[in-house]
Amino acid sequence: MADARVPVWLDCDPGHDDTFAILLAAYHPAIRILGVSTVFGNAALEKTTLNASSILTAIGKAHEIPVYVGASHALYRPAMHAPTDIHGESGLDGTELLPKPLVPAITTMSAIDAAAAALKAEAPGTAWVVATGAFTNAAALFLAHPDLVGHVRGLSLMGGAIGGGFTRAVMGNVDGVPRIGNWTQFAEFNVLADPEAAASIFGTAALAAKTTLIPLDVTHLVLTTHEVRDLLLYGPSGPREGEGKTTLRVMLVELLMFFAKTYSDVFGITDGPPLHDPLAVAAVLTGAGDRHEIPFCDFDPSAGPGLPQRERYDVTVVTEGTYEDAQAGARTGQIMAKLLPPGEEGVRIPRNLDIPLFWKVLEECVSRADAANAASL
């Protein structure tokens, strides 16, 4: 019988929220992860690569999922790394429970070549690329292998911010200044880290038509509240049962607690940190059927009477200016999304999703990882 799971290549820069993207991709029953590639971003490349291998070790997948080393800097710019007050010095500060990698990253083949080979080995129209860090590797992949644009089913990206009331999410502020982005007033980190990579993806019509973008406007709806952290720590039975508080669960919640403090201190978001990256993984389940799909809302629920219309967007990126210009107030890295007429193809930018179901599914993946770790003892 043919494997009906969705093949996924995951490109990431772990990163606290990338941890949960890897977990979801590795243990969702409808996803088959082909490989992981790393990119600069939340920390320098050598740290994000080490973190990816450590996460796979922690969840019992080190021997099953290969890690490849990707780009250390943007296509045409120097590397930009997140400040240590967000992810810490290592990129994954906040816990002493993260294990040393059992399997090191593969260095005998480039991440781009490995991803291309894995994706081309899948049937046409089935595989997804998911990028949760800077878009550098994703853009380089399709620039080096343009035939993949027609071969893959889709590209799912976490990045950018729309603003203007696109959703009801609280976007946060810094020094009393409300902002759209999370790095500057206008720009989200992943796009600003390599705006030319983002522009390359959105400027390729055939690729844009297969792209799902999960912006801060959506991720800031999905906050890891105290209730969510308890769910992940104890499982659905709750703390009174005294079950579920495994080493893995403690590690995951310790990472979330560190992330929660940084988001509160830096952005003033006190209800819990948004869990950005796993939403880009969840988006590949669109069309997977009622049993596995985590529904996303692709239309404006306030648009008025009548049947909801599927929304698609023409997305452009401000590439003018340096990182320093952006910090000084330039709009470098800002994305603009223009709603296209009904029926036209463009970038999919959801406005919402089934958040309770997302948390339920994520906890189930933690339970599967726990069971795999227990079975290996």
Give the catalytic positions in this structure: 276
Q: How far apart (Å, rounded) are the C-alpha atoms in residues 301 and 349?
A: 14
Give, to the nearest 10 degrees, the angle between helix 45-58 and helix 16-27: 40
